[in-house]
Amino acid sequence: MPVVSMQSILADAFAHRYGVAAFNVFNDLTLDAVLEAAAQTNSPVIVQVSVKTVKQIGAGLLQLMFAELANRRPIPATLHLDHCPDFAVAQACLEAGWNSVLFDASNLSYDENVRQTTEMVTLAHRYGAAVEGELEPVKGVEDDHGSDEEGAIVTLEQAVQFMRLTGIDSFAPAIGTAHGVYTSAPTINYARVAEIVAAQPLPIVLHGGTGLSDTQFQQLIALGCAKVNISTALKITYADSYRTYLSAHPSEYNPLKLLDAVRADVVAMAKSYMQIFGSVGRAA
């Protein structure tokens, strides 16, 4: 059962308290490599894509590549659109057969966020797709989206009301993590994850995974973070791998050898996160 719903992947991870890695891929090589890492570790995996990459490659082509490459492997995989504030782009992905979207209306007022997210949930569920909801902007810039300023934090009551009113399938609260490379150690609000899950048991999404320690990941996963986002680490591995290979092989011009080396490094990086998150062997 290669391509499955986001709901089924998150339900199992949340129930058994392991994390499913959600990697931000940006081309066929990185897409194939994270699926290969999942196959080698018998892990479920979430392939996610930024809006910027969707605009460059196209929602239809990305879905075709994903389905073709995922169907070659006997592990559960699902395709997700990361931080999308644009209703039309999310709708285009759903129409192209994507499994899930993060409709990010976190820059709008609470009431407007509830209204637009509810509309997105109605649309996505018609396609059997899932919606990740966000109320507070996650700190840090990701593919031109976001801000380095800390966003306002809502009360527990508002967060729970948002989850109930909108019918979202997972929730991404601000808990002190940030997109990109950490310039100072993050102060993580574990209690907030615990109180949200206690009040409304819905899978929590951990943004800003790059740079967290194994212990931080594992504590957050144990509290209910079922989807764990990794973007910057993949970009760093990818770029560094090119640099390392080219400087070690200055007269090699066979692109397939170069790409094989980069792919192997991305597979190894993805596998190491799957081990930390406890998803190894969880592909049902």
Judged by the rule CB under 6 A, the positions of this chain that interact with ligand 13P are 24, 82-83, 142, 179-180, 207-210, 229-233
Out of 12, 28, 32, 82, pick the active-site residue: 82
| Helix, strand, coil percentages, rounded to 5, for the chain | 50, 15, 35
Q: Rounded to an integer, what is the distance from CA 165 to the centroid of its chain?
A: 23
How far CA 111 is from CA of 46, 114, 199, 205, in Å, comes to 30, 5, 21, 22
Whose Cβ is closer to ligand 13P: residue 171's or residue 245's? 171
Whose Cβ is closer to ligand 13P: residue 176's or residue 180's? 180
Task: Residue 221: name the closest of 1, 11, 17 by CA.
Answer: 17
Whose Cβ is closer to ligand 13P: residue 202's or residue 225's? 225
Compute the least distance from the CB of residue 231 to ligand 13P, in Å: 3
CA angle (266 as vertex; 265, 270 as ends), nearest 5 = 120
**CA-to-CA distance for 209 and 178, rounded, in angstroms?**
8
Whose Cβ is closer to ligand 13P: residue 124's or residue 225's? 225
Tokens of 62: 């990305």
The question of whether 82 is a catalytic residue gets the answer yes
Tokens of 172: 């991404």
Compute the least distance from the CB of residue 71 to ligand 13P, in Å: 25
Compute the least distance from the CB of residue 232 to ligand 13P, in Å: 3
Whose Cβ is closer to ligand 13P: residue 30's or residue 245's? 30
Compute the least distance from the CB of residue 140 to ligand 13P, in Å: 7
Compute the least distance from the CB of residue 249 to ligand 13P, in Å: 29
- Neighbouring residues of 45: CB distance < 8 A, sequence distance ≥ 6: 20, 21, 22, 23, 34, 35, 37, 38, 75, 76, 77, 78, 270, 274, 279
Residues noted as catalytic: 82
